[in-house]
Amino acid sequence: MKILKYILPILFVSTIVSCSNDNDDNNTDPVSEVENLTLVQEISNDTHTIELFTKTGELIQGYNDITIRLKDKTSNEFIENATFTWKPMMHMVEMSHSCPKSELVKVTGKETIYNGFIIFQMPENAEEGWDLTFNYTINGEEFEAVGDISVPMSPKKTVTVFIGADEVKYILAFIEPQTPEVAINDMTVGLFKMENMMSFPVVENYKVMLDPRMPSMGNHTSPNNEDLVYNASSKLYDGKLSLTMTGYWKLNLMLQNENGEVLKGEEVTNDNESSSLYLEIEF
Ligand SMILES: [Cu+2]
């Protein structure tokens, strides 16, 4: 009896393992490549299912780091050699528009996953919302899949749309740190120009000056912040954000073009407690 008690669980476990191996049609381990991610939803057409993943399992107004897998509905295998374009669209009462996004590319060193980012500058509301179209090619054959997506409002200001002194419409989005710490954090933002309803090119070689403040505590700042400068390899802006305590921080910003002209934002002084250009975090 005592021996049986040990053998039974072993038999049981080995049955599970062999079953899951039998059911796994794919030549790679498809679970491990998304193990730190959560499924948001699937978008399907007649032939394929696209699985959308983020860390939280949700999309939200602002920056979204999105990973996808493409599954063949007939074979249940993940497609490893597709090339993608994607097109987020907000359908508003008066007009439709897209938003800033990266390319959607195969993740280096992975078999089944593709990654990119989308910055939704507006949240959905009762009458207006977003959809996401994927156009993809597999072995020269073209496909399209489109689905509605939910983009609720961010509780903090993580993206801002404004017109600069040069009359250009800009979109500035908070990207990092996603998990702020009481420390000097690496900070990243994205800066884009709204050329028209569909085109949002990256703005290069500007500077974003940073002055984080705690309005609830005498509007104190923090030492050793570094302004955000353009990073040509990521096409984003990197700087240092010093956070000396937890709580609500207003990240006062000033945008400077390549000639050092301020296009938006004001210095924080005793008489001026915040800039008109800012982002927010709370942790
Ligand atoms: Cu909109």
Q: Which two tokens stand for residue 27?
A: 């030549």
User: What does the block give as tokens for 176?
Assistant: 């990092």
Q: What is the 119 CA–ligand 1 centroid distance (Å)?
A: 12
Q: How far is CA 92 from CA 117, 144, 175, 219, in A?
A: 22, 23, 26, 38
pLDDT tens digits, residue range 116-171? 999 999 999 999 999 999 999 999 999 999 999 999 999 999 999 999 999 999 99
Start-end of CATH 2.60.40 domains in the chain: 32-149, 159-282
CA of 99 to the centre of ligand 1 (A): 9
Taking the centre of ligand 1 as the mean of its atom positions, its distance from the CA of residue 101, in whole angstroms, is 15
pLDDT of 232: 98
> If you measure from the C-alpha of residue 132 to the centroid of ligand 1, how many angstroms do you get, rounded to a whole number?
14
Residue 107, C-beta contacts closer than 8 angstroms, at least 6 positions apart: 33, 67, 113, 114, 115
β-sheet bridge partners, residue 282: 248
Measure 167 CA to ligand 1 centroid, in angstroms: 20
Class of domain 159-282: mainly beta
Instruction: Tell whether the model's pLDDT for residue 3 goes beyond 80.
Output: no
Ranges 19-28, 105-114, 207-216: which has the least confidence: 19-28
Give the count of beta carbons closer than 10 Å to the beta carbon of residue 216.
Answer: 11
pLDDT of residue 29: 58
Q: Please count the other Cβ atoms lying within 10 Å of the Cβ belonging to residue 192.
A: 22
Structure token digits, residue 163: 């017109």
Cis amide leading into 177 (omega within 30): yes
- Considering the chain, what percentage of its residues have pLDDT values greater than 70? 89
* Fold (CATH) for 32-149: Immunoglobulin-like (2.60.40)
The whole-model pTM stands at 0.88
Helix (H) or strand (E) holding 63: strand 62-72
